[in-house]
Structure 1
Amino acid sequence: MPSTASTAIPTPDVKSPHRGSLLIDGAKQGGHESYRVTVQREDRYDILVGRDSLARLDELLAPVMKANDANSAVVITDNHVGPLYAELVMKRLSAAGVRAQCVVIPAGEPSKSVAQAQRLWDELRSRSVRRRTVLVALGGGVLCDLVGFAATTYLRGIPYVNIATSLMGQVDGAIGGKVGVDHSTGKNLIGGFYHPALVVIDPSYLATLPLAEVINGLAEVVKVALIGTPGLFEQLERLPMQQDWALDQPAPRHLIEGLGPIIPAAIGKKLEMLAPDPFEQDLRRLLNLGHSVGHGLEAATNYVRYRHGEAVAIGIATVTALSVGMRLASVDTLRRVLRLLRKLRLPVSVPDDLRAVVWNHLETARLVRNGRLLLVMPTAIDQCTIIDDITRSQYDTACQLVDQEAKACD
């Protein structure tokens, strides 16, 4: 595998990944006993970014196994990633004295479902998984979401580790503790917050991915750059990307090397944005940039026509055009965003035949958010604001503006 600009991964310092306590105040009110219960929970885990992680996996996992008093693990991967890495992961676990088993599921967004979670629960039950067994998610963002969901629901919570092998997983799905599955009526409707015991990220994994999957993850990096990571947008503009590179072939080495400093920058910004509100109690979240339209587009096409990053890219372009229409951003900002997305070979337009369906999904999102869409709007490169709502006319005009300006960028 090619080397990257990232540093070697240190050994994690894991003491106790999940700790908690109750503070109880008793009192008498009107002749009745009452208790005020305050639950305090601390989740502690390392996100390790660097090279050669699989070769050192036994060393990296040892503190996690010890902290959880565990000596067994189940590696969960998919039929794309498994043939590449599962054997090596199993060998390193065996070298650490861990009794390990492997479960392989179908790759792709359709596996992020209640039905697949049910099959996974059945597998865990048949393999006598206990509270102290560690689940190891070996794959991309879909797999990390699914395994995290299984971990938080099986036996009321068992530890899990994310080994993110896709760019989407590395900058988004594997970090932050959001876990869940899709529902037929919407994306990520079933899930919760359950942090992993460890996250391992090695940019060199990306060398085995089809270029299309690297491009998919780049949409989340564009999102983080627009939210406000100084210099990141410019780094993305300098990334090498040729329009004639085959999408189904591995990404070229110099592209992977260029991602070396970009990945930790994107991770750091996401963690910074999560820090004040890790459980998303505030619905006004800048990290939702592009996702309202993107999720609607995915649901409208049954999660098979667009990769998540492709849908988010269209969402980013659409809300930037909305921002122009509301005089919050300049046309030059929109053009620069469109040029970058198109350079990265990401789609930008909501197809004509899907505009009404996507709008209907936005209406559903408005209901979920207490009557407000709460759309994140870029106002400049690396600056965003949030507006409460838009009209159908504004949405249609924005879709038309994206089409118009995208043609001008050719």
Structure 2
Amino acid sequence: MTTPASSCRLAVDTDDGIFTVTAHQASTYQVRLGDGLTTGALSSHLDALASHLKVTEIGVLIDAGVAENHLGNITAAVTRTGLPLRIIRVEAGQDSTSSDSLNTLIRALPPRPWTRRTLLLAVGGGSVHNLVRTAAGYLQGLPYALVPTTVQAQIDAGAGPDYGLAADRLGTPYPAGVYVDPTLTATLPDQHITAGLAEAIKVALVTNPLLFATLEKSTGPRPAGPVLTTIVCEAMGSKLLLRALNPQRELLQRGHCVGGAYTAALRYRIPHGEAVAVGVAVAAAHAFLSGQSTLEHRDRILDLLAAYRLPVAIPDEIRNPVWAFVAAPGRLRNGYLRLILPLRPGRCAFTDDFDRSAFDKAVDDLAARP
């Protein structure tokens, strides 16, 4: 006996008294993108979403730094819905994904029993979004929506649960809505703009050579206005398509071991995008040195990273700590390390042939560049 997966939430096969059950969970949500969205249509979008979800209040969880520039517009948009508003500020940075921050958020929400009638609206960067996603899972499906305020978060927000305090392992639901307004990034320092663009470069290398070409044409003044909107839209769309194709989700979630190790060696004191850039640079150097890519393609990748003033080299004083963090997952996998190699824009490959010697050669190759 077999029940088709398309007609029910569970597909069940039976054979010799053994039941094989495949559970399917479908989530549908809209990602809306537009310049000036938060000062224009956001209110009507939230009103429609609140009506659909039958929520009775909106809790705005906002990055304390972001609140200085954007809380007024967000508050005005929520107030126009006519629903009660609760504002919860959290400190920016990696610590906002800690258990202490999660406890602070939960204490600020209405007491149990949970009725799922509070819509959480997360306003800020990726760490704030991760905090809300984790809380939503912990609170058994409390609805939430995202308003990303950094380039990195805007590219990532539409793709659903990913990282954080245990993210998917807590059964984190997908957002009820995502509202992307590239003009919110205008108040960011240049370092945070370019750090976010490192994610766009990574996505372009995996799947979108036209986006890579757009990024190459936009390296003068920092991208803004329609140019930045195009970059965010293309990168976000490419990432969504990759996540929709299960065989290729791995390209976004695994194999970027050097970037994470670089961040850890620096004790998380740098923007995530700068770590992404270093990871891409090491992978590009290894692709060239192992004969899987050409000097022309290696230089094209490294030149673009450098044009956005992103780091591409690993200083000698942290080389050993970085490798220690790179090698740690391998010890859990019997020495198995997997690295994604950018061969050229739009094409990547996996390699298992990446040891300390290969790492040192790649680091030396990057240090030798003028």
* TM-score, normalised relative to structure 1: 0.81
Could you list the per-position Cα deviations for residues 231-276 of structure 1 after superposition, in whole angstroms to 9, with x for gaps in the alignment? 211111111435xxxxxxxx6xx63442121111111111111112
* 1:374 counterpart residue number: 338
Contact 1:206 1:256 in 2 (8 A): no
* 1:45 counterpart residue number: 29
CA shift, 1:126, in A, is 5.5
CA shift, 1:91, in A, is 2.3
* Closer, same or farther: CA 133–240 of 1 in aligned 2, 3 Å: same
* 1:241 counterpart residue number: 220
Equivalent residues in 2 for 1:312-327 (5 A)? 312-327=276-291
The aligned amino acid for 2:108 is E
- Percent same amino acid among aligned pairs? 31
CA shift, 1:191, in A, is 5.9
- Which residue, out of 238, 263, 267, partners 1:269? 238
Could you list the per-position Cα deviations for residues 165-192 of structure 1 after superposition, in whole angstroms to 9, with x for gaps in the alignment? 11011112x1222244369xxxx89766
SS at match of 1:104: strand
The aligned amino acid for 2:68 is P
Deviates more, 1:257-266 or 1:134-143: 257-266
Could you list the per-position Cα deviations for residues 29-73 of structure 1 after superposition, in whole angstroms to 9, with x for gaps in the alignment? 4xxxx7654423210001111123222222111232122211211
Could you list the per-position Cα deviations for residues 141-172 of structure 1 after superposition, in whole angstroms to 9, with x for gaps in the alignment? 22112211111112x12110011111011112
Higher helix share: 2
SS at match of 2:242: helix
Higher strand share: 1
* 1:311 counterpart residue number: 275
* 1:337 counterpart residue number: 301
Contact 1:349 1:402 in 2 (8 A): yes
- Which residue, out of 153, 164, 181, partners 2:138? 153
* TM-score, normalised relative to structure 2: 0.89
The aligned amino acid for 1:270 is K
- Which residue, out of 48, 57, 61, partners 1:76? 61
The answer as to 2:286 corresponding to 1:301 is no
Deviating above 3 A after TM superposition, structure 1's stretches of 4 or more consecutive aligned residues are: 20-29, 34-38, 125-130, 188-193, 254-257, 367-371
Unaligned runs of 5+ in 1: 1-19, 243-250
- The Cα RMSD (Å) is 2.7
CA shift, 1:128, in A, is 8.1
- Which residue, out of 119, 124, 127, partners 1:134? 119
Deviates more, 1:257-266 or 1:43-52: 257-266
* Closer, same or farther: CA 143–94 of 1 in aligned 2, 3 Å: same
* Closer, same or farther: CA 47–140 of 1 in aligned 2, 3 Å: same
Could you list the per-position Cα deviations for residues 297-339 of structure 1 after superposition, in whole angstroms to 9, with x for gaps in the alignment? 11122211x2100011001000111111110011222211111
The aligned amino acid for 1:307 is P
* Closer, same or farther: CA 369–225 of 1 in aligned 2, 3 Å: farther
Contact 1:176 1:271 in 2 (8 A): yes
Equivalent residues in 2 for 1:7-406 (5 A)? 21-22=9-10, 29=17, 37-54=21-38, 55-125=40-110, 130-154=115-139, 156-172=140-156, 174-181=157-164, 193-241=172-220, 255-277=224-246, 285-288=250-253, 291-304=256-269, 306-367=270-331, 371-405=335-369
Distance 2:76 2:112 in 1: 19
Contact 1:223 1:316 in 2 (8 A): yes
